[in-house]
Structure 1
């Protein structure tokens, strides 16, 4: 029986160690941009501060369980608690100091990691507009006049400024290796600013449960070199698909595991038209495209 317990304990320990190896390779702990790096550092610093309490508490629990175990043949421990100023000071001041330090970190990093604040990188941000659909992501590139579904591409040496909304239920956009998780809500505009340190491909997804197709609602984010980005632009421009108002209404239909697709052009002001869809109607539509998108008439 004892050998069986030891065997299972060793297997459990090996499982914990192996899971730790996969955790080390996780994008959250392997940041590829300054935002994700700050978030990783904040996580580790907060963990270290909290261990000031956790490690002594765990160690003392094990020590007391051993010291006062049955059969230890020790006399009863009956201390005098009416006068223990040092102990009382430790009990109250140490947690208070930890709370002050953690509160200061939260204040500093909340302003430092404001997702709406543009990153200082010496170049103008590359503008992207992201729309959450069922169950896919639409990315519009105002600077290029093109669009893509379930693929986000941008220059590696430029900050990326993403405007985000939803044309369905609440979603949340996150690229863990680059940092940030920002909600996408119908009729609302949120923002996220990111930067990749070097070229690479990163996983992105919706982190808010949104129905049947949620497990497949992910995309690839490509930080490209100048030559790679020029080739990608040419490929998208060569697409025969155009995302006008009627094509958008068709794209809006629910679909799971939607393949990557490109559009060489999109309806002017499409992002604002999607936002307009959730505003009160106070008069006639300003354009036929607005009427088609708002009414969903393909």
Structure 2
């Protein structure tokens, strides 16, 4: 019975938690909602096995405990019961098969690089993880930010992810699952915010001294507010130069920064900077715009 009480207490605690504490269970986009559904389905299917096992364990331990004056018959040669064997093997097998089918279905449905169905054209944001900060470049708008992104609501966002050095993991829990950023690679992740709001984002990978400070805010606003913000950044913020980027990528924390422009092809330069065969290198960004560097299928 103790196991039952502990399980019910756990359910009560989880059900009473606020969305601020368990933001994964408070999705604000289609990907996050599908992933929440998968979590719930998997938990329920596993509970069908785990809860009865915990209850039976408590009952068996209590019922068959050693105590004075016991009169139960001793049957040392009993070792098999076909009905019981079929019962406790068939139920888990069926549940595992159902869980496998559900997981495979959601795995294909939630492929990170799969474009989201929408009447709106997606916007592109290039994401670079640095030590210990995030650089976001908008090739379509020709602006850049550090530790902050703003996106239009109800619009698919195509994130292109890479890392300048150490591997990290890009994660906005309320919008969808994490995806790794890796040096020399450009990964694609589609997310969408269905409603306005300010959403917590972070690096979900241990990568050094200040990894805990690699957090950012993703703010979803209306199309009009987004366009106004882009124009404000372009009109009131300094430009990000190559020298500025070299300084920015030095290890250390950073506050939010906004830039009115960034060097052409910066993202492609970051991805290919460690290539040794001559196809990349320090001047690979010349002659390519930020937009053209992103439009290619650079997922490796």
User: Which TM-score band applies after superposition, normalised by the shorter structure?
Assistant: 0.7 to 0.9
1:19: how far off?
6.6
Pair 1:42–1:240, CA change in 2 (3 A): closer
Counterpart in the other structure of 2:27: 31
Q: CA deviation at 1:15?
A: 9.8
Gaps of 5+ in 2: 1-7, 287-300
**Where does 1:6-155 land on structure 2 (aligned, <5 Å)?**
21-22=16-17, 25=20, 26-69=22-65, 70-71=67-68, 73-76=70-73, 78=75, 81=78, 84-155=81-152
C-alpha contact (below 8 Å) 1:239/1:262 kept by paired residues: no
1:234 aligns with 2:228: no
Q: How many aligned residue pairs are there? A: 278
What SS is found at the alignment partner of 1:100? Answer: helix
Quick check: 2:272–2:284 contact (8 Å CA) kept in 1? no
User: Which residue is equivalent to 2:169?
Assistant: 172
Could you tell me which residue of structure 2 aligns to residue 274 of structure 1? 270
Equivalent pair of 2:264/2:285 in contact (CA under 8 Å): no
- Cα distance in structure 2, aligned partners of 1:16 and 1:171: 33
- Confirm or deny: 8 A CA contact 2:113 2:188 kept in the other structure: yes
Per the alignment, do residues 24 and 283 of structure 1 end up closer, same or farther by CA in structure 2, a change over 3 Å counting?
A: closer
Displacement over 6 Å in runs of 4+: 13-16
Q: CA deviation at 1:47?
A: 0.8
TM-score (norm. length: structure 2): 0.85
Structure 2: distance between partners of 1:286 and 1:254: 20
Query: Structure 1 length as normaliser, TM-score?
Result: 0.86
Q: CA deviation at 1:74?
A: 4.0
Structure 1 residue ranges without an equivalent (≥5): 1-12, 291-298
